[in-house]
């Protein structure tokens, strides 16, 4: 038996090990208080983002993130040139956040490139990321950051499938602009639109928090469309952390994030192979081979019930994570199936 002190040191090393290039990112947006990081980690996330810019606040978040084995996504603007710049070289930075939705904020390519160069000059060893508000933009930003993100929030006013559709559009843009090898991260809606300004101020405000099934569908829809990370927007509800403000919402989100964390080894170490069934819409599927077993994510992209494809009715396919395999798939249902 290992000495207790040695075991504790090894466990600490594993928990604080930074994310590698192959790790599947699960990040929580808008985490501003170091005291909340333990809650976020417990919910299955391995990363946090904040909109705070103050270097002293970022330093405190970075220090706690290091303790919790989390990585961080920060704005670099006020860190560059500050007394914190040297220390920030060793923060657990997953990526520096260049700009939020340059397509919406009407930034030019030149302005985004300037932000990229400033971050890279200060932190050449760190990655950079930016998020666009839709998959196809008038100004092509696809090749400017090291990592491209897409936020698209359809609940309840747009088709749920538009989330993955926008990611697919972004991936095509990346390929067209020579950035096919760069990571793509999807930002999943975890908020109620009623909290935010509506596009049509003359209309009644609409919105609600996504159901657990909607959160789960968007997450796996992103995975099937090739993302290597999922972000969830946002941790606060009208300024109050979600676990306190809306415990039921946090439970829905945590159930999904913990499931994705359990599935992450397949995404990280599995090999994508052909799905063992001939499928057509409304089905969407992706299959990985991992430890000599097949894992298939099967989505019903329809708002109606659909029969489970015959191949997956066979007993050799087990449905994981407590979701029952039945002859009919409910609207927007996701099954994660493992061959025996």
Identify whether residues 261 and 324 lie together within a single domain: no
Q: Could you tell me if residue 86 is inside a domain?
A: yes
How many other C-beta atoms are found inside a 10 Å radius of the C-beta of residue 331?
15
Identify whether residues 222 and 83 lie together within a single domain: yes
Q: Could you tell me if residue 10 is inside a domain?
A: no
Identify whether residues 265 and 276 lie together within a single domain: no
Picking from 144, 139, 143, 138, the residue whose alpha carbon sits closest to that of residue 116 is 144
Band of pLDDT at residue 245, cut at 50, 70 and 90: very high
Mean pLDDT of 310-320: 95
Identify whether residues 123 and 101 lie together within a single domain: yes
Apex CA 233: angle with CA 267 and CA 247, to 5°? 100
Q: Which CATH number covers residue 24?
A: 3.20.20.80
- The residue out of 269, 290, 324 marking a domain boundary is 269
Per-residue confidence (pLDDT) for residue 328, from 0 to 100: 97
Mean pLDDT of 278-292: 97
* Cα 293 to Cα 296: distance, rounded to the nearest angstrom: 10
Identify whether residues 138 and 204 lie together within a single domain: yes
Phi, psi values for residue 311, rounded to 5°:
-55, -40
Q: Could you tell me if residue 8 is inside a domain?
A: no
pLDDT reading at 179 higher than 70: yes
pLDDT reading at 197 higher than 90: no
How many other C-beta atoms are found inside a 10 Å radius of the C-beta of residue 213?
16
* Cα 54 to Cα 51: distance, rounded to the nearest angstrom: 9
Band of pLDDT at residue 203, cut at 50, 70 and 90: low
pTM: 0.92
Identify whether residues 246 and 307 lie together within a single domain: no
- The residue out of 269, 284, 318 marking a domain boundary is 269
Distance of alpha carbon 144 from its chain centroid, rounded?
A: 20
Q: Could you tell me if residue 281 is inside a domain?
A: yes
Domains contained in the chain, number: 2
What pLDDT, in 10s, does the model give residues 210-228?
A: 999 999 999 999 999 999 9
Q: Could you tell me if residue 232 is inside a domain?
A: yes
Work out the mean pLDDT of the chain and round it to a whole number: 93
Q: Which CATH number covers residue 285?
A: 2.60.40.1180
Q: Could you tell me if residue 109 is inside a domain?
A: yes
For the chain, the 3-state helix, strand and coil shares in percent, each to the nearest 5, are: 35, 20, 45
Q: Which long-range contacts (CB under 8 A, 24 or more apart) does 239-244 make?
A: 241/33, 241/36, 241/39, 242/190, 243/36, 243/39
Per-residue confidence (pLDDT) for residue 205, from 0 to 100: 75
What pLDDT, in 10s, does the model give residues 269-279?
A: 999 999 999 99
DSSP 283: E
Identify whether residues 220 and 330 lie together within a single domain: no
Which domain range does residue 283 map to? 272-339
Q: Could you tell me if residue 1 is inside a domain?
A: no
pLDDT reading at 288 higher than 70: yes
- The residue out of 211, 235, 269 marking a domain boundary is 269
Band of pLDDT at residue 117, cut at 50, 70 and 90: very high
């Amino acid at each position: 038996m290992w000495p207790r002190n040695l075991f504790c040191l090894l466990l600490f090393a594993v928990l604080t090990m930074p994310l590698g290039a192959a790790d599947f990112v699960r990040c929580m947006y808008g985490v501003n208080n170091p005291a909340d990081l333990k809650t976020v980690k417990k919910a299955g996330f391995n990363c946090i983002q904040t909109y705070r810019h103050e270097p002293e606040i970022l330093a405190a978040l970075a220090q706690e993130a290091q303790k919790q084995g989390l990585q961080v996504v920060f704005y670099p603007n006020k860190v560059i040139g500050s007394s914190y710049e040297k220390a920030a070289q060793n923060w657990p930075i997953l990526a520096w956040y260049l700009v939020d939705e340059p397509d919406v904020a009407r930034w030019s390519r030149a302005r985004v490139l300037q932000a990229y160069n400033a971050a890279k000059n200060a932190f050449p060893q760190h990655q950079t990321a930016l998020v666009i508000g839709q998959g196809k933009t008038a100004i092509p930003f696809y090749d400017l950051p090291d990592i491209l993100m897409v936020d698209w929030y359809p609940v309840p006013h747009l088709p749920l499938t538009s989330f993955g559709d926008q990611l697919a559009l972004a991936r095509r843009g990346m390929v067209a602009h020579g950035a096919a090898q760069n990571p793509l991260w999807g930002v999943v809606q975890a908020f109620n639109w009623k909290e935010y300004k509506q596009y049509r101020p003359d209309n009644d405000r609409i919105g609600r928090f996504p159901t657990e099934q909607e959160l789960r569908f968007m997450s796996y829809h992103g995975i099937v469309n090739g993302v290597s990370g999922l972000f969830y927007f946002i941790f606060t509800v009208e300024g109050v952390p979600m676990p306190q403000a809306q415990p039921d919402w946090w439970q829905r989100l945590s159930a999904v994030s913990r499931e994705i964390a359990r599935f992450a080894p397949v995404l990280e170490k599995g090999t994508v192979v052909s799905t063992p069934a001939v499928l057509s819409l409304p089905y969407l599927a992706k299959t990985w081979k991992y430890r000599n077993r097949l894992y298939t994510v099967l989505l019903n992209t329809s708002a109606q019930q659909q029969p489970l494809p015959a191949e997956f009715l066979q007993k050799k396919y087990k449905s994981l994570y407590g979701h029952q395999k039945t002859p009919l798939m409910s609207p927007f249902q996701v099954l994660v199936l493992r061959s025996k």
